[in-house]
Amino acid sequence: MRSNPQPDRIISAQKIFLRRGTLEASLLTDLLSRWPLIQQLRTGADGTGSEAMSEHTRKLRPKHDGAEVTPSICPYCGVGCGQLVYHKNGKLISIEGDPNSPISRGHLCPKGADTYELHTHPGRLKKVKYRRPYSKQWEDLDLETAMDMVADRLWESRERTFQETRDGESLMQTTAIAHLGGATLDNEENYLIKKLFTGGLGMVCISNQARI
Amino acid sequence: MPGLGTSFGRGGATTAQQDLSNADVILIMGSSMAENHPVGFQWVIEARERGAKIIHVDPRFNRTSAMADIWVPLRAGSDILFLGGLINYVLTNNSEFREYVVHYTNAPTILREDFRDTEDLDGLFSGWDQEKQKYDPDSWLYKGAPTRDGGGPQPGHSEAGGGHGKDRGGEAQDAARFEWDTSLQHPRCVFQVLKRHFSRYTPEMVERYCGVSKEVFLKAAEAFTSASGPEKTAAICYAVGWTQHSKGVQIIRAAAILQLLLGNIGRPGGGILALRGHASIQGSTDIPTLYDILPGYLPMPFFEADANKFADYIKKHKARTGLWSGFDKYFISLMKAWYGEGATSENNFGFSWLPRVTGDHSHFGYWLDMQDGKMEGLFVMGQNPAVGAPNARLQRTALSKLKWLVVRDMVEIETASFWLDSPEVQRGELSPESIGTEVFLFPAAGTAEKEGTFTNTQRLLQYREMAVEPPGDARSETWFMYHLGRRLKQRAKDDTRPRNAGLNALTWNYPVEGKHAEPKVSEVLKEINGWTVADHKQLQNIQDLKNDGSTACGAWIYCGVFPEEGRNRANERKPKDLLGHGWGFAWPNDCRIIYNRASARPDGKPWSERKKLVWWDEEKKEWGGLDNADYPKNLSPDTPDDLAKGQGVEALGGARPFTLHPDGVGWIYVASGLKDGPLPTHYEPLESLLSNPLYKQQTDPAAQKKERPDNPYAQSPADPRFPYVLTTYRLTEHHTAGGMTRTLSHLSELQPELFTEVSPELAQEAGLEHGDWATITTPRAIIEARVLITRRMRSLWVDGRRLHQVGLPYHWGYKGRSKGDVVNDLLAISEEPNVRIMETKALVCNIEPGRRNERQQRKESEERAAI
Amino acid sequence: MAITAFLTDSTLCIGCKACEVACKEWNGVGEDGLNWSGYSYDNTGAVGHSTWRHVKFVECAPEPGFGGNAPELNSWSFSSDVCKHCENAGCLEACPTGALVRTEFGGVYLQPDVCNGCAYCVVACPFGVVQRNPDDGRAFKCTFCYDRQKAGLIPACAKACPTESIKFGEIESLRRKATERMQELQRRGMRDATFYDASDSSVGGTHAMFIVRGDPRTYNLPPKPEVPTTYLKKAWTSSAIAAGLLLAGSVIAFLSENRSNGR
């Protein structure tokens, strides 16, 4: 894919040329005044410095100028690099290293440096996808409906497979429902998973990536 | 994490990444740190620039080797032989840090007369039960130490048990009562037993069977052991290159022994840094989504041992001396956090509501049950077993046996769409019409879209704030679990059957906020930290915990992270020093280097000015210095121990730094807590080209192969069909099985395709062309990859012949921008005995030129011809 | 306004390509193809219109016992390449539209809103840095993060670099650092370490300086980069001289004619 680096910033010279008919005098003057030859004559400079800068260049500011910044931690490996998340009006603008972190000192690896794309790329899921048994395709599903359906499945499977006792002794488990995952999640999330699944529902088949 | 846990007390890295810059030598082995932890590697570079020597031991010359002073190419799977060689080198040259060894390790402890070493029994320790295929570890115990409850199933040796709960070791006996010889001369003291155990791990053996020339071995050994004693320290960094072996725990044990002998634990620039591959892999064992432990490494009750026996459960796990003397406080406070008012002393704080463990409920254990049609439902959150787990083909086909599957991720990962476009469906072996699994794929929030804590590789809790709302219906796992739990509790509320008593009692009233009714994450963290039940005041530290039900605490080791209302220490961001105090919260008690009492001499003074960290302040009468003391703050160094009769941590006296162990010292020898022996021993990988050069016992006797028709193995040793060693690994540009990177343009373009790395010698022998295709075959699968011929791969001279190693990065799958064959299809499901991890770093394979389909067709026609 | 520069010290580079990704993330530059090259671990090839930072991998045969840091051997080297922001910049001199400008920090900035895609700069660059985007027609290269620098921020690549192999700062202090670093590397036995800033060539020095091991040419650093416009000057001078001589000749001829006429 060869994409346009700064699609929103482009006011190409060609476009100005095409709009010549409506070009205002002031713009013409401006254009002329930026013409290197005129600049050279006027300022004595060589026409390659600030005198040659377009309005856009002169006004150039970093894209996260004036954005809110929220401290964060990189989601990839276990190093735990500090990140700064820049956002404006609820939209992400950029994610870069946090120089205050005593571990990462503002640096990121290629994965950490790509965290903005991780959040914003077009392949991200935004709706629940549902596949019926024996179906050949995905369907969209409303979030609340999906939650109800999952609660149903979980409840029914637990009802079918729960064992309260074995040989008169307390067993209180189901081994027919399992959970996998946790090393990419937050401590609070893992805590709620273990608390509900094991402490509340009696699921013992709980596992994640962590071993040693 | 029993490798570190049994050796030192806690299953976590002993040091911080920044502290690597204090090291005089750094040994990186079982890790390509520059590739997989590049930002942490800046501290290695900093040490190097200050003059530290960097040693990298790895089968491949990779980006870490490129930055090292010494690169040692090694036959994959021979790590214990190499490390044993280093241990033997230390012992034969008397280069151990004698004063540290005598005072701070169990080297002087005398073992029982009936203990037999692998040297006596040709590769087995005493107690091996051939019929049950497991050890009875009684003979491993210390001489003079009574067993705790006179036999019966011991924690850590239960058939069902994994390893995490036993991280601390020592429950099998009262290890605080023992006999010892501080001259280290007694023939049955640990030091002498160790000497004999490793006496055959000579440079010649290393040369012959690791493929490391004697000259290179000695160069590395001299460099590493030079950093010992009061003035110098050496650090060791490892990652899954050590853990993902059929004897992974014992490899780490070998490193622990080496570091204890050299006096490198608890001291600046020393330690063992376990490098974790995920953002919160440490956190997910501390607060485990694992089957055999509860938060804070408290063991889950096991059916055969703990069914209705609360008192027995407490008695078995509560130690008399050391920090585990508080076991009842930690456990009861957890029950109070979970079951609130429902947990009372009358009902044993809800002990009977906890499910009992009855077997191997680990990932591989239950996945084989799933494959056999014994499971109904599965939740997968932030993991991608369809490409990321061993024998991935079996992982995928097992999913087709489920009634329902819930996957939560940021993208449509392979696990969610196994029924649609897996290789099995593409090849026509399965079709969607034949798969009855109902699948729910939920969009998950990214890190910038939710708040919470990760615990990083150095036990540091760091809080993230939410920057923006997640897109569309994407939500955090906190949201998902909270609202799922709410629905289930609603269903159970009028149901009085015993199965719902725990669910009804479960405290689940987290306040919600925002337009999506997101539970307040800080409230969950406050519960993890703990509070007093009566007036709901946050607990300040572990000492505040009580065993009478008056405190609630979700994870005792994290106590102190939220010590008062409005003060979340994980969210503090003002680092004051190199170790980063003031930034985040390290467990326990914000200690950045644990066991740091060992950084001072027995009399409390630093071993040297250069290596000072924590010392006894005579004026203030407390431990102070550059880190928080991992020791009772006011326990003076001259306090005599009362090991024989005393109670609690104080019984250890003022000079026993490893406070979780009942005897307060680092364990060179692990008397209890491991299933495959008290000392590391070289065994060959489950699939190997070689016979074990040292013993008749070929492989780790307690490792489980889980061999069955859908999980077959090569003959071992030396299956003629599979003449090469295969090792798998990661690249900087991708993350694990690629779910978070193969979907991204800027990372996919950097490593767009699966390739295999081979040496020119192997390429010539196998007829491979650079840039062309090769097929790689194991008994489980055939895959294809592009050929990268490089001198960085080296054929080794092992036991009188050339041994070739094939390298394969395992990031690819059948979805995403950059696709490739699934390397994990090649691997077997196998279980290391203690933690049930698979062997990914050393197995056997064949490699041939050409593409997979041609190869597969030929194989099929050969099979037909054979019939 | 401080005059700034990059100093890329390849002895610290671990080849992670964080600089490439950080650059693309910040500047919104797209992927430039999923092409497995088979050349070491490098699949992005070279600096171009859609890769403004590029890490080159140089592979040699490593010897066991000698890691890459061993002064005796240099087995696998990485170096992050970038626009040199020349003191006498060929691109800037060649640009007929004024799209290329010299910023107050000393860098050479290509204004995408002014560029008309004539590509004179492409051929004028002695390092092959500037390239036209074939889809869009315009030329692109490293901006020296002019937008960030204007706000007092360091360029995205230098900020990300995990081992601080890419340093950014005031040019003279970086030169001093480079001198010290060279002495240090020599002391450690790395006799093949070379400092490169092309100050003794027609580009007159660069705002992207390098420390590399071995021959700089291995890292796309020509020993004598030449600004094509030097030839232009020479050509102009020659033409001027020629014109002058011709004129003089004519004048002389005229005068002598006159003289002869006057006889």
Query: Which pLDDT band holds residue A26 (cuts at 50, 70, 90)?
Result: low
Query: Which pLDDT band holds residue C27 (cuts at 50, 70, 90)?
Result: very high
Residue pair C84/C127 in contact (Cβ under 8 Å)? The answer is yes
Is B800 part of a structural domain of the chain? Answer: yes
Please tell me the total count of domains within chain B. Answer: 4
Query: Which pLDDT band holds residue A34 (cuts at 50, 70, 90)?
Result: low
Residue C263: the pLDDT is 44
Inter-chain residue contact A107 with C27, CB threshold 8 Å = no
Residue pair C110/C121 in contact (Cβ under 8 Å)? The answer is yes
Query: Which pLDDT band holds residue A48 (cuts at 50, 70, 90)?
Result: confident
Query: Which pLDDT band holds residue B166 (cuts at 50, 70, 90)?
Result: very low
B801-840 pLDDT tens trace: 999 999 999 999 999 999 999 999 999 999 999 988 999 9
How many Cβ pairs closer than 8 A exist between chain A and B? 509
Residue B721: the pLDDT is 96
Are residue C81 and residue C196 in the same domain, yes or no? Answer: yes
Q: What is the rounded CA–CA span in Å between residue B95 and residue B541?
A: 40
Inter-chain residue contact B790 with C69, CB threshold 8 Å = no
Q: Give the closest-approach CA distance of B154 to chain A in angstroms.
A: 19
CATH number reported for the structural domain that contains residue C95 in this entry:
3.30.70.20
Give the Cβ contact number of residue B549 at 10 Å. Answer: 16
Q: Return phi, psi of residue C22, to 5°.
A: -60, -40
Q: Give the closest-approach CA distance of B278 to chain A in angstroms.
A: 4
CATH number reported for the structural domain that contains residue B7 in this entry:
3.40.228.10
Residue B670: the pLDDT is 94
Is B650 part of a structural domain of the chain? Answer: yes
Contacts (Cβ under 8 Å, ≥6 apart) of B531:
B537, B538, B539, B551, B552, B553
Residue pair B221/B89 in contact (Cβ under 8 Å)? The answer is yes
Are residue B136 and residue B259 in the same domain, yes or no? Answer: yes
Name residues 205-244 of chain C within 8 A of B (Cβ): none
**What residue has token string 């011929």?**
B789
Largest separation between any pair of C-alpha atoms in chain B: 87
Are residue C111 and residue C39 in the same domain, yes or no? Answer: yes
Query: Which pLDDT band holds residue C73 (cuts at 50, 70, 90)?
Result: confident
Which of B613, B622, B620, B606 lies closest to B591, judged by CA?
B613
Mean pLDDT of chain B: 94
Residue B592 has pLDDT above 90, yes or no: yes
Are residue C221 and residue C231 in the same domain, yes or no? Answer: no
Q: Which stretches within A62-186 are classed as H helix?
A: 110-113, 115-120, 143-161
Q: Which residue has the higher pLDDT, B209 or B175?
A: B209
Residue pair B556/B563 in contact (Cβ under 8 Å)? The answer is no
B515-574 pLDDT tens trace: 999 999 999 999 999 999 999 999 999 999 999 999 999 999 999 999 999 999 999 999
Residue B491: the pLDDT is 97
CA C93 to chain centre: 15
B366-379 pLDDT tens trace: 999 999 999 999 99
DSSP summary character for residue B270:
-
Q: Return phi, psi of residue B834, to 5°.
A: -90, -40
Residues on chain B touching A199 (C-beta within 8 angstroms): 338-339, 353-354, 502, 506
Mean pLDDT of chain C: 91
Residue B658 has pLDDT above 80, yes or no: yes
Are residue B623 and residue B735 in the same domain, yes or no? Answer: no
A89 in B contact zone (CB under 8 Å): no
Q: Which amino acid is at B552?
A: A
Q: What is the rounded CA–CA span in Å between residue C238 and residue B633?
A: 86
Residue B784: the pLDDT is 97
| Averaged pLDDT, B172-194 | 91
Is B71 part of a structural domain of the chain? Answer: yes
Are residue C241 and residue C113 in the same domain, yes or no? Answer: no
Are residue B233 and residue B381 in the same domain, yes or no? Answer: no
Is B264 part of a structural domain of the chain? Answer: yes
Please tell me the total count of domains within chain C. Answer: 2
Query: Which tokens go with B169?
Result: 């070791």
| Averaged pLDDT, A151-160 | 98
Q: What is the domain range of residue C12?
A: 4-225
Query: Which pLDDT band holds residue C251 (cuts at 50, 70, 90)?
Result: confident
* Residue B166 DSSP SS3: helix
Are residue C233 and residue C221 in the same domain, yes or no? Answer: no
Inter-chain residue contact B38 with C44, CB threshold 8 Å = no
Contacts (Cβ under 8 Å, ≥6 apart) of C54:
C20, C44, C45, C46, C47, C48, C80, C81, C82
Q: What is the dihedral of CA C78, C83, C88, C94, to 10 degrees?
A: 140
Report cis status (omega within 30 of 0) of the bond before B471: no
Residue B273 has pLDDT above 60, yes or no: yes
Q: What is the domain range of residue B113?
A: 2-143+178-274
Are residue C135 and residue C258 in the same domain, yes or no? Answer: no
Are residue C79 and residue C11 in the same domain, yes or no? Answer: yes
Are residue C8 and residue C131 in the same domain, yes or no? Answer: yes
Choose the closest CB to B771 out of C38, C68, C78: C38
| Averaged pLDDT, A82-100 | 97
B112-127 pLDDT tens trace: 999 999 999 999 999 9
Q: Which residue has the higher pLDDT, A8 or B789?
A: B789
The domain boundary, picked from B448, B469, B494, lies at: B448
Q: Which residue has the higher pLDDT, B150 or B460?
A: B460
B49 to chain C: closest CA residue = C12
Q: Which domains does chain A have, with CATH numbers?
A: 10-58 (no CATH), 68-120 (2.20.25.90), 125-161 (no CATH), 163-212 (no CATH)
Are residue B60 and residue B198 in the same domain, yes or no? Answer: yes
C51 forms bridges with which residues in the sheet? C48
Residue A150: the pLDDT is 98
Give the CA distances from residue B828 to residues B150, B160, B360, B549, B703, in Å, rounded to whole numbers and listed in that order: 39, 21, 17, 46, 13
3-state helix, strand, coil in chain B (%, to 5): 30, 15, 55
Are residue C128 and residue C186 in the same domain, yes or no? Answer: yes
Residue A32 has pLDDT above 70, yes or no: no
Is B26 part of a structural domain of the chain? Answer: yes
Q: Which residue has the higher pLDDT, B511 or C249?
A: B511
Which of B285, B298, B260 lies closest to B457, judged by CA?
B285
Which of B502, B152, B455 lies closest to B286, judged by CA?
B455
| Averaged pLDDT, B223-234 | 96
Are residue B90 and residue B219 in the same domain, yes or no? Answer: yes
Are residue C190 and residue C258 in the same domain, yes or no? Answer: no
| Averaged pLDDT, C172-182 | 97
Q: Give the closest-approach CA distance of C21 to chain B in angstroms.
A: 6
Inter-chain residue contact B745 with C21, CB threshold 8 Å = no
- Is the complex ipTM more than 0.90? yes
Q: What is the rounded CA–CA span in Å between residue B851 and residue B587?
A: 51
Are residue B746 and residue B829 in the same domain, yes or no? Answer: yes
Contacts (Cβ under 8 Å, ≥6 apart) of B603:
B616, B637, B638, B655
Residue B49: the pLDDT is 95
Which of C147, C140, C145, C144 lies closest to C125, judged by CA?
C140
| Averaged pLDDT, A12-41 | 51
B628-644 pLDDT tens trace: 999 999 999 999 999 99
Give percent above pLDDT 70 in chain B. 96
Residue B83: the pLDDT is 98
Residue pair C8/C20 in contact (Cβ under 8 Å)? The answer is no
Quote the crossing angle between the two packed helices B477-492 and A143-161, to the nearest 10°: 50
Is B546 part of a structural domain of the chain? Answer: no
| Distance between first and last Cα of chain A | 41
Give the CA distances from residue B223 to residues B70, B92, B257, B271, in Å, rounded to whole numbers and listed in that order: 9, 16, 17, 17
Are residue C139 and residue C236 in the same domain, yes or no? Answer: no
Give the neighbours of chain C: at least 3 Cβ pairs within 8 Å: A, B
Q: Give the closest-approach CA distance of B27 to chain A in angstroms.
A: 18
Residues on chain C touching B48 (C-beta within 8 angstroms): 69
Inter-chain residue contact B71 with C65, CB threshold 8 Å = yes
Residue C46: the pLDDT is 95
Give percent above pLDDT 90 in chain C. 76
Query: Which pLDDT band holds residue A2 (cuts at 50, 70, 90)?
Result: very low
B408-440 pLDDT tens trace: 999 999 999 999 999 999 999 999 999 999 999
Query: Which pLDDT band holds residue C260 (cuts at 50, 70, 90)?
Result: low
Q: What is the rounded CA–CA span in Å between residue B179 and residue C18?
A: 56
Query: Which pLDDT band holds residue A101 (cuts at 50, 70, 90)?
Result: very high
DSSP per position, B785-821: EEEEE-TTB--EEETTEEE-EEEEE----SSSSS---
Contacts (Cβ under 8 Å, ≥6 apart) of C210:
C7, C8, C9, C10, C79, C195, C196, C197, C216, C219, C221
C71 to chain B: closest CA residue = B69
CATH number reported for the structural domain that contains residue B786 in this entry:
2.40.40.20
B833 forms bridges with which residues in the sheet? none
**What residue has token string 């295999």?**
B756
| Averaged pLDDT, B597-622 | 97
Q: Give the closest-approach CA distance of C12 to chain B in angstroms.
A: 7
The domain boundary, picked from B274, B294, B329, lies at: B274
B732 to chain C: closest CA residue = C16
Name residues 11-40 of chain B within 8 A of C (Cβ): 34-35, 38-39
Contacts (Cβ under 8 Å, ≥6 apart) of B147:
B138, B141, B172, B173, B174
Residue B482: the pLDDT is 98
Inter-chain residue contact C67 with B70, CB threshold 8 Å = yes
pTM above 0.95, yes or no: no
* Residue B108 DSSP SS3: coil
Residue C74: the pLDDT is 78
Query: Which tokens go with A187?
Result: 């401590």
Residue A139 has pLDDT above 90, yes or no: yes
Best mutation target, B71, B769, B789, to test chain C (most C CBs within 10 A): B71
Burial class (CB in 10 A: 0-12, 13-18, 19+), B389: buried
Residues B849, B850, B851, B856, CA torsion sign: negative
Residue B158 has pLDDT above 60, yes or no: no
Are residue C178 and residue C246 in the same domain, yes or no? Answer: no
Are residue B750 and residue B649 in the same domain, yes or no? Answer: no
Residue B156: the pLDDT is 42
